Amino acid sequence: MKLSGITLFRIGGIDIVIDYSWFIIFFLVIYTMAESYFPQAHQDYSVQQYWIMGTAAAVLLFMSILLHELAHSFVAIKLGVRITSVRLLVFGGLSQASSEPQNGRDEFLIAVAGPATSMALGVFFLVVYSYFNIAGMVTPVASVAGWLAFANILLALFNIIPGFPLDGGRILRAFLWDRWNDMGKATRVVSQVGNGFALFLILFGILQILLAQSLLSGLWLVFIGLFMKQSALGSYQAVMLRRALSGVQIRQIMTEDVVKVDWLISIEDLIQKYVYKHQFTDFPVFNRDEFIGMVSLEEVKKIAKDLRIFKQVRDIMTPVELVPCLKPSDDATEALSRMVSGDIGRMPVVEDGRLLGIVSRHDIMNFFKIKSDLGTA
């Protein structure tokens, strides 16, 4: 399933995506800064100024988090790790990679780049704040800079907590990986540490609500803990999936006995004789022995029911030149990444214009399950 979000722009081949959940924290920061923090810290500004300051603080915080993630990404790319996108979420950012670092040293350099950038930004904003204070100029700019210094330093310190999915977890994994020479074992240990810290945050948040009567801060800790717990599990599963599929080519997974559809059959026949019978959502289309395209259930659904008997597959199919295809030598991890990012269920495997087979996300995940069951993942 394609992840929800808005692609803002592209930097160095990396898509910058804002997840819909991110807007929650963005507007919450603006509101909190404009209605609570700045009015309490500085009582001599107007309501309009507070809202401008709150908006500026939120935008600059967004840029700070983006720089944090880009630091990870650019170091990763320099070390040979392919980064597909940076996604900004409700609790921060996430760099999405299609491969893993080759060793613990590379992992350490990638992981430490984010907190180092946040700390550098914190120091920069602290210098700006100090300059205005020393000069005796208490201005809105100084107030925003002071808050951003605190926020970035806190972001750096929070991220070095040694548990997945935080940067500190990756730094710890780098040391354990280098010591044990076993990335899977290191990942498992660090995921358990991250899960333990997440449970601590959840319990501490509940105590905040029940004993300290602090509903907002308690709920915030609970939400962060739940997010960390889910992310720790997801990060571990993603790493183990990449590890299991490392070096696996599509030719080892694809289905060679392909169900083919003639381009001249009606859409009604396609539904009755192929979709219902085989229960696939995508089928390769042939003109005699020539592979000419793909037809999907999504395209079928666009045709009115009373017209399906009259229209043919060739009327709705996607021509082969527009179909995303794989080669038999393609890496399974890269193929899965393409399928997930493009929301594609099945992809044809083509070489020299000939259809050699079909591979689906289910095929790849089933292959991973088999390797896991056999203890070879």
Kindly state whether residue 1 falls inside one of the protein's structural domains: no
306 or 137: which leads in pLDDT: 306
- Shared-domain flag, residues 138 and 287: no
A 10 A CB-CB count for 354 gives 10
Tell me what pLDDT residue 263 has. Answer: 97
**Average pLDDT in the 190-194 region?**
89
- Shared-domain flag, residues 186 and 274: no
Per the DSSP assignment, residues forming a β-bridge with 95 are 86
Mean pLDDT of the chain: 89
Final residue of a domain: which of 205, 229, 245?
A: 245
- CATH at residue 366: 3.10.580.10
Tell me what pLDDT residue 188 has. Answer: 85
Q: 2 pLDDT band (50/70/90 cuts)?
A: very low
Q: 25 pLDDT band (50/70/90 cuts)?
A: confident
Domains contained in the chain, number: 2
Tell me what pLDDT residue 315 has. Answer: 96
**Average pLDDT in the 23-48 region?**
87
Distance CA(151)–CA(185), nearest Å, equals: 34
Q: How far is CA 109 from CA 101, 106, 157, 333, in A?
A: 10, 5, 17, 23
Looking at the chain, the whole-number percentage of residues with pLDDT higher than 90 is 52
- Shared-domain flag, residues 218 and 311: no
Nearest to residue 129, comparing CAs of 113, 157, 152, 160?
152
Does position 295 have pLDDT exceeding 90, yes or no? yes
**Average pLDDT in the 230-240 region?**
78
Lowest mean pLDDT among 107-116, 230-239, 273-282: 230-239
Kindly state whether residue 122 falls inside one of the protein's structural domains: yes
Nearest to residue 347, comparing CAs of 338, 336, 359?
359
Residue 24, both tokens: 């929650």
Tell me what pLDDT residue 376 has. Answer: 62
Give percent helix, percent strand, percent coil of the chain, each to the nearest 5. Answer: 60, 15, 25
Half-sphere exposure of 98 (CA within 13 A, CB side): 18
Distance CA(368)–CA(354), nearest Å, equals: 27
- Shared-domain flag, residues 12 and 36: yes
Nearest to residue 118, comparing CAs of 58, 53, 167, 165?
167
Nearest to residue 106, comparing CAs of 178, 180, 191?
178
- Shared-domain flag, residues 120 and 48: yes
Final residue of a domain: which of 226, 245, 264?
A: 245
- Shared-domain flag, residues 183 and 263: no
- Shared-domain flag, residues 177 and 270: no
Distance from chain centroid for Cα 304 = 37
Kindly state whether residue 65 falls inside one of the protein's structural domains: yes
61 or 96: which leads in pLDDT: 61
Does position 1 have pLDDT exceeding 60, yes or no? no
- Shared-domain flag, residues 303 and 333: yes
Nearest to residue 124, comparing CAs of 155, 157, 148?
148
**Average pLDDT in the 36-47 region?**
86
Top-confidence range, 59-73, 96-110, 204-218? 59-73
- Shared-domain flag, residues 69 and 216: yes
Tracing tokens 């700006």 back to the chain, one arrives at 128
Does position 3 have pLDDT exceeding 60, yes or no? no
- Shared-domain flag, residues 194 and 334: no
Q: 274 pLDDT band (50/70/90 cuts)?
A: very high
- Shared-domain flag, residues 80 and 216: yes
Tell me what pLDDT residue 265 has. Answer: 97
Looking at the chain, the whole-number percentage of residues with pLDDT higher than 70 is 97
Give long-range contacts, CB 8 A cutoff, 24+ apart: 369-377.
371/244, 372/240, 372/244, 376/244, 377/240, 377/243, 377/244
Tell me what pLDDT residue 146 has. Answer: 94
Q: Position 87: which residue type? A: R
**Average pLDDT in the 123-141 region?**
90
Active site residues: 69
Half-sphere exposure of 254 (CA within 13 A, CB side): 26
Residue range of the domain that includes 268: 250-373
Final residue of a domain: which of 245, 273, 304?
A: 245
Tell me what pLDDT residue 377 has. Answer: 59
Tell me if the bond preceding 165 is cis, omega within 30° of 0. Answer: yes
- Shared-domain flag, residues 268 and 203: no
